[in-house]
Amino acid sequence: MSVHSQEPLPLETTIITDELSIRPSRPLDYQALNITLVQLARKMAEAPRDILQELVNVILRFCRGQSAGISLAEEENGQRVFRWHAVAGRYAPHLWGAAPWEHELCGAGLDQGQIVLISNVDRYSQYFSHGEPNVTEALLAPFSIGGETTGAIWVFLHDREGQFDSEDAYVLRMFREFAAAATQVRSMSVLQDTQATDNQNLLHGNQELRKQMMEREQMEVDAFRLAAIVESSDDAIVSKDLNGIIKSWNRGAEHLFGYQAAEVIGKPISMLVVPERVNEIPEILKKIRNGEHVHHYETLRRRKDGQVINVSLTISPIRNAAGQIIGASKSARDITEQKRAEKERAFLLAREQEARKTAELINRVAPQLAVELKTERLIEVVTDIATTLVGAEQGIFLLNGEFIENFNIELENRKIVRCDDAIQADDRLAIQGLLEGIRSYLVVPVISRSDEVLGYLFLGHSSAHKFNKDHEAILEGIAAQTAIAMDNARLFEQAQSIQTELKRSNAELRHANQSLETFAYSASHDLQEPLRTIALSAQLLERRCKPQLKEEAAGFLASILGGANRMKALIDDLLTYVKATKSEEGPPPQVESKEVLLRVLKDLSGQIEEVNGAVTHDLLPIVPMHASRLAQIFQNLISNAMKYRNQASPLVHVSAQERDGYFVFSVTDNGIGIEQEYAHQIFEPFRRLHNREQYSGSGIGLGLCQRIMEQYGGRIWLDRSIPGSGSTFCFSIPAQ
């Protein structure tokens, strides 16, 4: 590969994060994203071990990348490395791979502390120049746990065609908090399992011990002969008389309590007891005198160096040969470490439960928000939920710009703000006295996918120190979901207003069309009356007074008659046109188009014979259209062909085929054709290309055909025309 011979590029030249804001971005399915978030949270609770792989699968689905993964920082042989804990896509074979911090992309991303887009990855990192497949772009989102950056989620592109956009960055931003939570939950789950094993071992050890103790108790031995056996024990074994005076002290005891045997023998056992437990000794001695045993009594003891340790005591009476109780043997085991582990385990368990609870709480919010599509109502719901979840007394949603501006530098940086005691803090919010009686509060910005602050969620309480890190996490989760829901609601509201506007303008148009039709109909109707009077009067004048008229006057009379006739034809056409715009009642029936054509040919037979024309046709289909309307189309096209003919006898051929869900009819003639530049004008009503002397007619025909075809969801067009040698008109009818 030629790439290898190139010098590595410095990181700065390969970071192109700024490009995200100028690249065209694509729409994202927020509904699906929301649902997926909920599913992921469920998965986190059910199978925390698999959550990281699940997460990268999801990231790959929502991003443009061809590989996605999660890298976690780890120590390995004293070196800081990144290990790929989950990988999906083309890089999947590299799962569990690791690379040193300074050579790994994630290291670069983490050092930047925010989402970065890196190009020419192979030129920057030697680890990727050898890797297969090649990485052309990498988008990285680091995440942190407890303030420490611990890992990153990433997506890779492997070929030069694709590129990441701001939506991909948005998806990573959405998921990185989740990744942090998931990582934590997963590691807790692993830890828990390990401790369960440890406990099992300890339990086993204890049982062994107990067994030994039982065996010892059963031995009928002289109290002081025991020393030889106990000397070798790791456990502290001490014997004392009934007054609590130490009689023997083994090596285990020396080790546990720090005193040499010589220092303690003959001294009271109470020297080992912490002051608050001093009452234990008489109690224990009392039991011993009664012949009772004390098993696994957990208490505190003090070492010579003053350190207090947790011990588990097993105390048994010592009898002499006569069976009289003469003292007690005490075995003590240091359980400080065990106690500490137990405590830590309980702590981790509680934290894990807390984390799960938070995730569940946040996820319960999602479905509630998803169904709310009105911004106003959404804000109410969010505020109510947040107030309840964090146990606040007051919850307010501040729409952006209401009053929050300039009050807090953290908010300006779009981070969550927590105030534990407003009286002590020098806080402008408190100083402004806007929220009287509030001592603790949380404010979180709600940021849209377009990076716009939509508002702030404010939660307050009259007592100090009411909120903690967990509440912050809950609130941040809710804010993220709110942002998505508000974006959704905004889109929905926009879509709705557009729809309303469309409906309104449609209704207006329909109304206007109806008025226009009514007007055209009655106007043309009313025009006929006076026109008829003009025509009849002119004819009467001609009939009765022609002999008296001068030649000039007779010419004028002829003009009046001609004009009246043309006007009548126009009005008739207009009426036909208006009638054609009124849809036929009911759905179109199936008609035999051949039958319709033959009927039209019969009606036109006079015109066709007159010009010695002929009409032929192929097999014609059954089509869903009213016969009268289809007849009008055929009638107009054929009649035009007979009219606009060449010297040769007009020949017309009609054919049809089914194509892409339409019946497409072709009507081809050998007439005068139409110049390309007029091809569109011919469908305009009353548009004529020729003067009246050449060709008669009002020019309504093709416009009428177009109106009819539009009503059936089809269209009519001039498919092909050669001036001087013919045209082909096509019309299409949806096959339903």
Partner 1 sequence: MLLVEDNQTDVLVITEALERSELNLQVHVLRDGLDALTYLRQVGTVGGPPCPALVLLDLNLPKVNGIEILRQLRNSSCRDTAVIVVSSSDSQSDREAVRALGAEAYFRKPTDLKAYMELAHIVNRILSR
Residues that bind partner 1 (CB under 8 A): 525, 528-529, 531-533, 535-537, 539-540, 543, 564-565, 568
Measured from the CB atom, the residue of 95 and 575 that comes closer to partner 1 is 575
- Distance, in Å, from the CA atom of 343 to the CA atom of 434, rounded to the nearest integer, reads 44
Q: Tokens for 187?
A: 């590691």
- Dig out the tokens for 386 from the structure: 């947040």
Single-letter amino acid code for the residue at 299: T
Contact 149, 113 (CB under 8 A): yes
Residue among 209, 169, 191, 214 nearest 25 (CA): 169
Nearer Cβ to partner 1 (468/537): 537
What is the C-alpha separation between 369 and 170, in angstroms, rounded?
19
DSSP 496-511: HHHHHHHHHHHHHHHH
Give 565 or 736: the residue with its C-beta nearer to partner 1. 565
Q: CA-CA distances (angstroms) from residue 444 to 399, 475, 698?
A: 12, 7, 72
Angle of helix 51-62 versus helix 166-218 axis, rounded to 10: 170
DSSP string of 694-725, one letter each residue: TS-S-S-HHHHHHHHHHHTT-EEEEEEEETTT
What count of residues does the chain have?
736
- Interaxial angle between packed helices 166-218 and 469-545, expressed in degrees from 0 to 180 and rounded to the nearest 10: 150
Q: Which is nearer to partner 1, 342 or 584 (CB)?
A: 584
Question: CB 579 → partner 1: shortest distance, Å?
Answer: 12
Q: Identify the bridge partners of residue 329 per DSSP, sorted by sequence position.
A: 239, 316
In the complex, least distance from residue 513 CB atom to partner 1, rounded to whole angstroms: 22
**If we measure between CA atoms, which residue out of 659, 649, 654, 614 comes closest to residue 630?**
654
Measured from the CB atom, the residue of 540 and 553 that comes closer to partner 1 is 540
**Any idea what DSSP says for residue 483?**
H
Determine the residue type at 722.
I
Listed in sequence order, the residues at least 6 apart from 211 whose beta carbon sits closer than 8 Å to its beta carbon are none
Supply the minimum distance, in Å, between the C-beta of residue 520 and partner 1.
Answer: 16
Question: Least CB distance from residue 573 to partner 1, whole Å?
Answer: 15
CB–CB of 441/326 below 8 Å?
no
Closest contact distance (angstroms) between CB of 541 and partner 1 is 10
**Would you say 199 or 539 has its CB closer to partner 1?**
539
* Residue (265 or 541) nearer to partner 1, CB: 541
Residue (227 or 567) nearer to partner 1, CB: 567
Query: Rounded distance, CA 41 to CA 63, Å?
Result: 19
State the nearest-atom distance from the C-beta of 527 to partner 1, in Å: 11
Beta bridge partners of 720: 728
Contact 719, 646 (CB under 8 A): no
Decide whether 46 or 529 has the Cβ nearer to partner 1. Answer: 529
Shortest Å distance, C-beta 521 to partner 1: 10
State whether residue 27 is helix, strand or coil.
coil
Dist CA 329 CA 212 (whole Å): 14
Shortest Å, Cβ 536 to partner 1 = 5
The least CB distance from residue 717 to partner 1, in Å, is 34
User: In angstroms, what is the minimal distance from the CB of 584 to partner 1?
Assistant: 15
Q: Which two tokens stand for residue 251?
A: 């090596």
Instruction: Give yes or no for a contact between 329 and 226, defined as CB atoms under 8 angstroms apart.
Output: yes
- Residue whose CB is less far from partner 1, 465 or 525: 525
Is the CB of residue 623 less than 8 Å from the CB of residue 653? no
CB of 548 to partner 1, least distance (A): 18
**Least distance CB 732 / partner 1 (angstroms):** 32
Query: What is the crossing angle of helices 469-545 and 336-371, to 10°?
Result: 10
Minimum CB separation of residue 543 from partner 1 in Å reads 7
- CB-wise, 289 or 566, nearer to partner 1? 566
Residue number, 305 or 529, with CB nearest to partner 1: 529
Neighbours of 137 (CB within 10 A): 24
State which residue, 532 or 602, has the beta carbon closest to partner 1. 532
